[in-house]
């Protein structure tokens, strides 16, 4: 199972690093396609929009259709101008010399034309001027039936043109070939007038024709505002900037329908990622394997070989897998900044399920390294999660109720904010403010913290605070899946008002007192070596609940009455005594005690020999007919340091009741003897119980027993009672 979990941990970490790349390589991107998750940059990446979009911009601009507005009444305007010319000629004709000059001035002012006086004289002398003007206007009107524009540049390379006609026609698309320029229209007018009026005196025809050419105006007006807006939209759609992306920045958010620019962005990101992809993937896999191997070596060679108890490797590996899955899911299915990732879930779960801070700290460091591989791959983000995770471990020392989980979560949020601020603040700007802090306004604060920093600090705090609720959601599932108990669940059974404890007090009051003494000693011994004192206390409370099945079988509950074992076979007596372990486990299971407490009930006697009845049987029937195995508890031997401590203090407390006039030397001798006998019997072989911890436990137990068994001053009535009772009391 452990090997399988290690393989899963390596694969899920590696897959988390490359899930986006795999998607981009395997599935082609299409516009309007809805992306299944958020794409984030995992490296520093510059998106050159000009390189990616320049060609498409040129194509879009070349395919852009210009819009013109049709200007009606051009014929009417030409008619008015030519009629004004005719009227002016007839008005000035009778004035002779002054009239000629007036006509020349009129033509110069109205049309900017300069003619010699002879031209004016010829025009005055020409009798059929009105018919000439009408004929030229007729030709001009026919030409204006075409679509005429002044500037041909917007039409270069265009196949169609849009013309906005007055309502109700609206915008109509025409082929670009249907449009002629103003110069072309005037050339047609010039040719047709010369062809039709070839007999008219050139001195009259040419000036009138020049005037009519000037009255011929385009009937299509280029809509600068609308066309500029359309061109600007195209340029905006295909910008030419270089956009830098940092690790963790969002490329395309979750569930977005891809636009053309999104496709190009992801394509450019994919193409750049292809460079040395296999080499980078190899080193990523190597780094992941190295971390997993290093972590397993730490668990087995340091915590297991040098520390106080065997770490639950399978549980820790599973929590690492869950954390990586959770963090990656948070990145894939949200569009929030990376700082909102609730990484502190890992240390909080370890503390609540295992309550061991060394393994929690190192697992947090390894977890932060793994998460940073697919999150940011920078020192900043690694330290961000390491500091936040370690803060969660330190702040979770006194978690007893679910509501308490919000304190370490808030601490993590605050640490996250401090780390973000420390890594992102413009410290150079801040140095300009000493001595003038009272004058700092909001604009100055924004300048110090940088654009977006305040927002990132907010998300970082939320990410830390969110770890608490997530832990509360996951905890029940993990307790069921791993048959373990969290700190919250254990504390439920620490209440002495629990029905089981009430029954123990009612049915076996002496065993209850023994239990309280064992709990006191276990807590003191556990605290001395850093064991789980909460678990020890609860284990001590319930370790002898099996004695409630038949309390009179146990000497502390006989209260001077006849001992039933006096009439029983030693083997039968031994089995009845041994049975209290199995009966206690059964009662505890029926009452819903956590598995970790049931384990302490089963292991607190290990596979020890019930020496009293074994020796009694040896004396009665001979050693050859007996098997020691029949007089041993079923075990198993203590699997944890807590079970070993409970075994020792249970024996010490029971044996201490038989000491006559206890002194520190006597107490120390008894405690050492009890410990050495269990070591010699191999009871601590399966829990790696180091001798240096045994020495501390012996020291603490001797101190505690000396304090509780110290001799007291006898009152006068006690001395008289002694004299009256004689030796029997002294031997009690």
Rounded Cα distance, 426 and 48, in Å: 28
Long-range contact pairs involving 72-75 (C-beta distance under 8 Å, separation at least 24): 72/166, 72/219, 74/144, 74/217, 74/218, 74/219, 75/137, 75/140, 75/141, 75/144
Same domain (yes/no): 626, 604: yes
Q: Domain boundary at 227, 254, 288, which?
A: 227
Q: Domain boundary at 488, 506, 539, which?
A: 488
Rounded to 5, what percent of the chain is helix, strand, coil?
70, 5, 25
**Which DSSP state fits 174?**
E
How buried is residue 61: exposed, middle or buried, by Cβ count under 10 Å (0-12/13-18/19+)? middle
Rounded Cα distance, 169 and 641, in Å: 93
Q: Do the Cβ atoms of 452 and 420 come closer than 8 Å?
A: no
What integer pLDDT is reported at residue 310 of this predicted model? 64
Same domain (yes/no): 319, 438: yes
435 three-class SS: coil
Q: How many domains does the chain have?
A: 4
Q: Which residues of the chain have pLDDT under 70?
A: 96-97, 303-310, 376, 425-451, 483, 622-624, 688, 710-732
DSSP secondary structure letters along 320-380: HHHHHHHHHHHHHS--S-GGG--TTHHHHHHHHHT--HHHHHHHHHHHHHHHHHHHT-SHH
Same domain (yes/no): 618, 543: yes
Which strand (E) or helix (H) includes residue 564? none
- Residue 93: φ, ψ to 5°: -65, -40
Closest CA to 332 of 243, 452, 252, 420: 252
Q: Report the predicted TM-score, pTM, of the whole model to 2 decimal places.
A: 0.68
Which strand (E) or helix (H) includes residue 179? strand 179-181
Q: What is the dihedral of CA 309, 314, 316, 321, to 10 degrees?
A: 170
Residue 60 lies in a domain: no
Q: What is the dihedral of CA 663, 669, 673, 674, to 10 degrees?
A: 30
Same domain (yes/no): 175, 285: no
Residue 236 lies in a domain: no
266 three-class SS: helix
608 three-class SS: coil
Cβ atoms within 10 Å of 566's Cβ, excluding its own: 7
Structure-token pair, residue 730: 């002294």
Long-range contact pairs involving 560-567 (C-beta distance under 8 Å, separation at least 24): 565/613
What integer pLDDT is reported at residue 30 of this predicted model? 86
Rounded Cα distance, 576 and 555, in Å: 13
Residue 701 lies in a domain: yes
Rounded Cα distance, 162 and 175, in Å: 9
Residue 54 lies in a domain: no
Same domain (yes/no): 265, 335: no
**Which DSSP state fits 680?**
H
Closest CA to 64 of 159, 179, 180: 159
The alpha carbon of residue 334 and the mean position of all alpha carbons in its chain are separated, in whole angstroms, by: 8
Same domain (yes/no): 181, 251: no
Rounded Cα distance, 510 and 508, in Å: 6
* CATH at residue 548: 1.10.3210
Q: Do the Cβ atoms of 455 and 421 come closer than 8 Å?
A: no
Structure-token pair, residue 221: 């007006």
Q: Do the Cβ atoms of 534 and 490 come closer than 8 Å?
A: yes
54-70 pLDDT, tens digit per residue, is: 777 788 888 888 999 99
Residue 716 lies in a domain: yes
Residue 216 lies in a domain: yes
Rounded Cα distance, 65 and 77, in Å: 29
Residue 58 lies in a domain: no
Q: For helices 664-680 and 641-656, give the axis angle rounded to 10 degrees.
A: 130
Same domain (yes/no): 282, 296: yes
Same domain (yes/no): 434, 564: no
Q: Do the Cβ atoms of 219 and 75 come closer than 8 Å?
A: no
Closest CA to 75 of 149, 142, 133, 148: 142
What integer pLDDT is reported at residue 442 of this predicted model? 41
Cβ atoms within 10 Å of 597's Cβ, excluding its own: 20
Q: Which domain holds residue 177?
A: 67-227
Same domain (yes/no): 472, 579: no
Same domain (yes/no): 211, 268: no
Same domain (yes/no): 221, 291: no
**Which DSSP state fits 161?**
E
Which strand (E) or helix (H) includes residue 29? none
What integer pLDDT is reported at residue 441 of this predicted model? 47
Q: Which residue has the tokens 């075994």?
A: 647
Q: Do the Cβ atoms of 512 and 548 come closer than 8 Å?
A: no
Same domain (yes/no): 619, 695: yes
What integer pLDDT is reported at residue 614 of this predicted model? 87
What integer pLDDT is reported at residue 714 of this predicted model? 53
Residue 203 lies in a domain: yes
Q: Which residue has the tokens 């007018």?
A: 189
Which strand (E) or helix (H) includes residue 547? none
* CATH at residue 284: 1.10.1760
**Which DSSP state fits 257?**
B
Q: Domain boundary at 227, 260, 286, which?
A: 227
Using CA of residue 342, residue 347, residue 348, residue 352, what is the dihedral sign?
positive
């Amino acid at each position: 199972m452990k090997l399988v979990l290690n393989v899963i941990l390596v694969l899920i970490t590696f897959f988390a690093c490359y899930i986006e790349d795999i998607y981009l390589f395997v599935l082609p991107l299409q516009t309007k396609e809805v992306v299944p998750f958020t794409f984030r940059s995992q490296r520093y990446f510059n998106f050159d929009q000009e390189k990616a979009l320049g060609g498409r911009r040129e194509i879009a601009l070349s395919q852009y259709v210009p819009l013109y507005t049709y200007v009606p009444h051009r014929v009417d305007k030409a008619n008015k101008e030519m009629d004004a010319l005719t009227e002016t000629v007839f008005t000035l004709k009778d004035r002779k010399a002054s009239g000629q000059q007036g006509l020349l001035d009129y033509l110069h002012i109205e049309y900017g034309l300069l003619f010699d006086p002879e031209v004016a004289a010829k025009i005055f002398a020409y009798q059929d001027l009105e018919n000439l003007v009408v004929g030229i206007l007729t030709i001009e009107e026919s030409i204006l039936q075409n679509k005429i524009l002044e500037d041909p540049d917007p039409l270069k390379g265009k196949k169609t043109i849009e013309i906005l006609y007055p309502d109700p026609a609206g915008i109509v698309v025409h082929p670009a070939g249907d449009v002629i320029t103003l110069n072309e229209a005037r050339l047609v007018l010039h040719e047709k007038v010369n062809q039709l009026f070839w007999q008219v005196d050139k001195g009259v025809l040419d000036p009138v024709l020049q005037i009519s050419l000037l009255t011929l105006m385009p009937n299509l007006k280029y809509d600068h505002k609308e066309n500029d807006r359309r061109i600007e939209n195209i340029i905006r759609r295909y910008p030419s900037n270089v956009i830098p992306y940092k690790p963790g920045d969002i490329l395309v958010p979750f569930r977005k329908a891809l636009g053309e620019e999104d496709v190009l962005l992801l394509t450019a990101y994919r193409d750049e990622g292809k460079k040395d992809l296999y080499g980078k993937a190899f080193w990523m896999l190597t780094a992941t394997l190295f971390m997993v191997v290093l972590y397993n070596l730490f668990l087995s060679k340091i915590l297991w070989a040098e520390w106080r108890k065997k770490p639950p490797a399978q549980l820790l590996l599973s929590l690492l897998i869950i954390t990586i899955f959770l963090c990656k899911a948070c990145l894939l299915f949200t569009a929030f900044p990376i700082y909102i990732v609730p990484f502190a879930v890992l240390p909080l779960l370890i503390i609540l399920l295992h309550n061991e801070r060394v393994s929690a700290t190192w697992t947090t460091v390894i977890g932060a390294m793994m998460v940073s591989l697919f999150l940011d791959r920078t020192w900043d983000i690694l330290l961000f999660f390491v500091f936040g995770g370690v803060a969660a471990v330190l702040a979770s020392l006194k978690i007893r109720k679910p509501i308490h989980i919000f304190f370490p979560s808030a601490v993590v949020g605050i640490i996250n904010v401090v780390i973000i601020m420390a890594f992102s603040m413009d410290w150079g700007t801040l140095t300009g403010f000493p001595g003038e802090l009272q004058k700092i306004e909001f604009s100055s604060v924004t300048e110090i913290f940088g654009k977006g920093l305040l927002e990132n600090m907010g998300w970082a705090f939320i990410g830390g605070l969110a770890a608490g609720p997530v832990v509360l959601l996951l905890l029940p599932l993990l307790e069921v899946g791993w048959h373990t108990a969290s700190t919250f669940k254990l504390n439920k059974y620490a209440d002495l008002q629990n029905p089981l404890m009430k029954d123990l007090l009612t049915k076996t009051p002496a065993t209850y007192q023994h239990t309280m003494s064992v709990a006191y000693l276990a807590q003191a011994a556990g605290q001395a070596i850093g064991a789980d004192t909460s678990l020890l206390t609860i284990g001590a409370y319930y370790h002898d609940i099996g004695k409630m099945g038949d309390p009179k079988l146990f000497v502390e509950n006989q209260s001077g009455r006849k001992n039933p074992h006096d009439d029983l076979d030693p083997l039968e007596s031994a089995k009845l005594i041994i049975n209290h372990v199995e009966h206690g486990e059964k009662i505890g299971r029926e009452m819903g005690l956590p598995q970790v407490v049931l384990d302490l009930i089963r292991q607190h006697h290990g596979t020890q020999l019930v020496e009293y009845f074994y020796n009694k049987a040896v004396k009665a029937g001979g050693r050859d007919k007996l098997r020691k195995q029949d007089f041993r508890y079923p075990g198993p031997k203590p699997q944890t340091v807590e079970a070993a401590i409970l075994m020792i203090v249970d024996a010490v407390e029971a044996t201490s009741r038989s000491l006559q006039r206890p002194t520190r030397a006597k107490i120390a001798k008894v405690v050492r003897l009890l410990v050495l006998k269990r070591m010699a019997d191999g009871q601590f072989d399966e829990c790696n119980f180091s001798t240096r911890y045994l020495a501390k436990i012996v020291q603490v137990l001797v101190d505690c027993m000396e304090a509780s068994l110290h001799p007291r001053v006898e009152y006068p009535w006690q001395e008289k009672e002694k004299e009256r009772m004689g030796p029997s009391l002294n031997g009690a």
